[in-house]
Amino acid sequence: MKNFSYDDFELREIQKLEGHTGKVLGIAWKEDTGVGGLPAVIASWSDDKTIRIWEENFSGFFVCKAVLEASCTVRSCAWSREFKLLAAACSDATTAIWENVGVHAYEHIYTLKGHENEVRSVSWNKDGQFLATCGGDKSIWIWEVLPGNEFDCTKVLQGHTEDVKIVHWDEKVLFSGSSDNTIKVWEETRFVNGDWRCIQTLGESDRGHTSPVLSLSFNKGRRRMVSCSDDLIIKIWKNCEEDSSIELWSHACTLSGYHDTTIFTVDCLRELLRGVNYDDMDPDIFASAGADDAIRVFIEDMDNQVDGLSFKQLLKKEKAHETNINSVKWHALDKRRLASASDDGTVKIWDFVCPWPPTT
């Protein structure tokens, strides 16, 4: 085992991406880029009504390769790995679909309509066959990708009592967070094709949040989910695995006192932290950020879990941006790289400096 000190960890800025003329509301790494000789690609979106596609060059720096023009503020974007599609949730109650038709070339191919209020979040399922959208109308829509770049709404999910802030598809299960302070877990029924049911609601009675749920993320093994809220609290949930036919979750621990302003975003490091281990078990790591302009990184405290799961703050990057940080995202396959987006109009790429074993 490698001995290390928490002082050995650092979040080092390696590049600031400028070009947006408004607040940058989010970022998304493109699946399967940045490894195996492929340059990393990241999308950023803004209230300047554009999506910018950034690509890493041979020097390791990101360059804007495409600017996609939207008709209004873009609230969320998600890449589909299988079909080379990018979905964008828009404030005019539509979802725009772009297709990557060539090197640095994107074509707007479809506009999904149906929501009665702005679309807040979008998420593709694992194989890219279905897209979930949610919005201010309290509903979640499930869209199926059809041949010929057509889309069909197969189901509208009702259940939240306030606007739905986020949808997140993980494997075959869909999660949603809302201004009604709850997280809902949705699953397609196995015996009625195309029908869906809410199998669990995580609310205040379940030791859940007391304010709108703004962000969700899962660790690599899907054993845990991290959520954050306007209540200034981060919650960690564990997969109970009590019933193999139903995926149920329970509260594992609460992190409070670290943020004194709204927490907008959390994201789990999904690559294992090899070399920093306890008895061959890898500690979970996640990042959080919000209205206090700082990025925090938390690590599972595996030495102090007498009464259950425990996390401690690994590092805090003060003044990571000039104002609100709306999104932090780890690269899915590169455990050293983190991106952040802010109201200051910039995206930043960070190097997570940590005591990994040398590669020599």
Which pLDDT score is estimated for 327? 98
Q: How does residue 198 score in pLDDT terms, banded at 50, 70 and 90?
A: very high
The two tokens of residue 247 are 């995926």
The two tokens of residue 176 are 């949603």
* For the chain, the helix, strand and coil percentages under 3-state DSSP, each to the nearest 5: 0, 55, 45
Quote the percentage of the chain above a pLDDT of 90.
73
Residue 6, pLDDT above cutoff 70: no
Which pLDDT score is estimated for 242? 54
Q: For residue 25, what are the CA distances in angstroms to 9, 60, 185, 351?
A: 27, 24, 25, 21
Could you read off the pLDDT of 106-128 as tens digits, one per residue?
Answer: 999 999 999 999 999 999 998 89
Give the C-alpha separation, 226 to 236, whole Å. Answer: 5
Could you read off the pLDDT of 263-281 as tens digits, one per residue?
Answer: 999 999 986 554 444 444 6
Residue 170, pLDDT above cutoff 90: no
**Residue whose C-alpha is closest to residue 230's, from 204, 203, 273, 260:** 260
Q: Which residues, including other chains, have CB under 8 Å from residue 284's CB and lie 6 or more apart?
A: 219, 224, 268, 269, 299, 300, 311
Tallying the residues shown for the chain, one arrives at 360
Is the pTM here over 0.85, yes or no? yes
Cβ–Cβ under 8 Å, residues 77 and 123:
no
Could you read off the pLDDT of 41-74 as tens digits, one per residue?
Answer: 999 999 999 999 999 998 989 999 999 999 999 9
The average confidence (pLDDT) of the chain is 90
Quote the percentage of the chain above a pLDDT of 70.
89
Q: How does residue 2 score in pLDDT terms, banded at 50, 70 and 90?
A: very low
| Average pLDDT rounded to a whole number, residues 205-218 | 96
Cβ–Cβ under 8 Å, residues 320 and 291:
no
Q: Which residues, including other chains, have CB under 8 Å from residue 36's CB and lie 6 or more apart?
A: none
Q: How does residue 194 score in pLDDT terms, banded at 50, 70 and 90?
A: low
Residue 244, pLDDT above cutoff 70: no
- Find the range with the poorest average confidence among 79-83, 272-276, 316-320: 272-276
